Copies of this chain bind each other. A is one copy, B any other.
């Protein structure tokens, strides 16, 4: 598609304010860097939004990428680093001096700075932290003391706080004079004498009230106080569930320590969804921008587990070599039962993993859902038993073999429904991510039972 477009059209798109990075622009920058016209490349990149610059860096091959970072120098916005994929960021950071990285981190908002430091190698981390002015460093180190993926890591430290005994007028005057306030925010946090959050005031409500109105009159006290140690997945759940825009974060003693905004949650939701998708697909992490060797590593362990389970399934088949030798049709038909079980089980598993992630599948309805899925599997089993039984009977002109494969199909689809819900429930109960390894356990079960039921029944009949 993009081949047919003119640079003019892309320019129009950009002016219209859509995605700032066109394929043409990537190509132009690439060519400029290749021909060592680095000034031209810088001119093309400078007007871009930091997020688009990050995308551009991700798409360039390694050599051009390093050349662009060098040419841009200090013109490379600090925010760009926040938008970079981990693998690409590591690659770029390697070539940058730690002192320069420290200045970059100082330019970022506190939550982004924490995010950046988290991704650095631990050897560099301390050196860079040491290069940061003390006041900021203490805040950063404090944030970093919270567990990974917790609310404490996610929050920004700067929040706009006011006491509850103020009026709207006092608040507006304070906001006009206080330079310490964060740049953009949506809610004012109302705090009590020990700095505990009492409520929030949406700015639109503040603006629509008269100056003498008391803050305590217009504040919203139905707030969710997020403990700094809460897992970001649970934080995201609260934001989604209650349509929150901003929420106060508190320490163990209930003191306000920061705030989390919905735009940070957008990234968390995105990350968590990506994780579930990748884990179900058997990929450890997003290795899209990884080099070949890293990608091989990220795929290897899963494939190794799969090899072992596949060999195990073959051993099961091996028990029935006499039956297969006698009736070769068994070898021809046996993958069908296993494949149908694997697919039906994956359907159930996918729905269950999703339901667990959004807290729809809980202790109260677990039994009901397991029952329902087993029933669905059983009924679909009967339908497909009739279908494949008919096909097999006609194909090999032998109703016995049709009956055998039909029975095996019912057994395997019934089990697929049961296993598809029970397998992810178990790790979730132990506090382990239900998406990890569920697929491999499930397909092992459906493969083994598929072969066992079909060949076992056949052995009883034919031997």
Interface residues of A (CB under 8 A from B): 1-3, 16-19, 23, 26-27, 49, 51-52, 55, 58-59, 61, 85, 160, 172, 175-176, 181-186, 202-210, 222-225, 237-245, 262-263, 265-267, 269-270, 273-274, 276-278, 280-283, 286-289, 292, 295-296, 299-300, 302-303, 306-307, 310-311, 313-314, 317-318, 321, 324-325, 328, 330-336, 338-340, 343-344, 346-347, 349-351, 353-355, 358-365, 368-369, 372-373, 375-376, 379-380, 383-384, 387-388, 391, 429, 443, 447, 451
The reply to whether A363 and B23 contact each other, CB–CB distance below 8 Å, is: yes
Return the contact of A317 from the options B265, B317, B331 (Cβ within 8 A): B331
Could you jot down 26 A-B contacts, CB within 8 Å? A1-B363, A17-B224, A27-B364, A51-B243, A55-B359, A85-B360, A181-B208, A262-B263, A266-B266, A269-B273, A270-B358, A280-B350, A281-B347, A281-B351, A282-B343, A282-B346, A286-B354, A292-B375, A299-B347, A302-B347, A311-B388, A314-B335, A325-B328, A330-B331, A335-B335, A335-B451
Q: Which 9 pairs of residues, A with B, have the shortest CB-CB distance?
A: A281-B350, A273-B273, A331-B331, A203-B203, A17-B224, A310-B336, A310-B339, A306-B343, A321-B328
The answer for the CA separation of A182 and B185 in the assembled complex, in Å, is 18
The answer for the CA separation of A276 and B276 in the assembled complex, in Å, is 11
Which among A183, A240, A331 has the greatest number of chain B C-beta atoms within 10 A?
A: A331
The answer for the CA separation of A331 and B368 in the assembled complex, in Å, is 40
Complex: chain B residue closest to A283, CB-CB: B347
The reply to whether A300 and B383 contact each other, CB–CB distance below 8 Å, is: yes
Give the shortest distance, in Å, between A362 (CB) and chain B (any CB).
Answer: 6
Residues of B within 8 A of A224 (CB): 17-18
Return the contact of A288 from the options B55, B245, B269, B361 (Cβ within 8 A): B361
Residues of B within 8 A of A355 (CB): 288
The reply to whether A280 and B277 contact each other, CB–CB distance below 8 Å, is: yes
Complex: chain B residue closest to A352, CB-CB: B288
Q: A203-B207, A375-B292 are in contact. Are A365 and B335 (CB under 8 A)?
A: no
Return the contact of A19 from the options B19, B237, B331, B387 (Cβ within 8 A): B237
Copies of this chain, count:
2
Return the contact of A175 from the options B27, B208, B267, B360 (Cβ within 8 A): B208
The answer for the CA separation of A418 and B325 in the assembled complex, in Å, is 36
Give the shortest distance, in Å, between A310 (CB) and chain B (any CB).
Answer: 4
Q: A296-B376, A306-B339 are in contact. Are A239 and B223 (CB under 8 A)?
A: no
Complex: chain B residue closest to A444, CB-CB: B339
The reply to whether B303 and A343 contact each other, CB–CB distance below 8 Å, is: yes
The reply to whether A299 and B344 contact each other, CB–CB distance below 8 Å, is: yes
The reply to whether B18 and A429 contact each other, CB–CB distance below 8 Å, is: no
The reply to whether B292 and A376 contact each other, CB–CB distance below 8 Å, is: yes
Give the shortest distance, in Å, between A153 (CB) and chain B (any CB).
Answer: 18
Q: A328-B324, A354-B274 are in contact. Are A333 and B347 (CB under 8 A)?
A: no
Return the contact of A384 from the options B51, B276, B303, B361 (Cβ within 8 A): B303
The reply to whether B204 and A206 contact each other, CB–CB distance below 8 Å, is: no
The answer for the CA separation of A331 and B321 in the assembled complex, in Å, is 8
Give the shortest distance, in Å, between A387 (CB) and chain B (any CB).
Answer: 6
The reply to whether A332 and B343 contact each other, CB–CB distance below 8 Å, is: no
The reply to whether A242 and B49 contact each other, CB–CB distance below 8 Å, is: yes
The reply to whether A365 and B18 contact each other, CB–CB distance below 8 Å, is: no
Give the shortest distance, in Å, between A320 (CB) and chain B (any CB).
Answer: 9
Give the shortest distance, in Å, between A283 (CB) and chain B (any CB).
Answer: 5
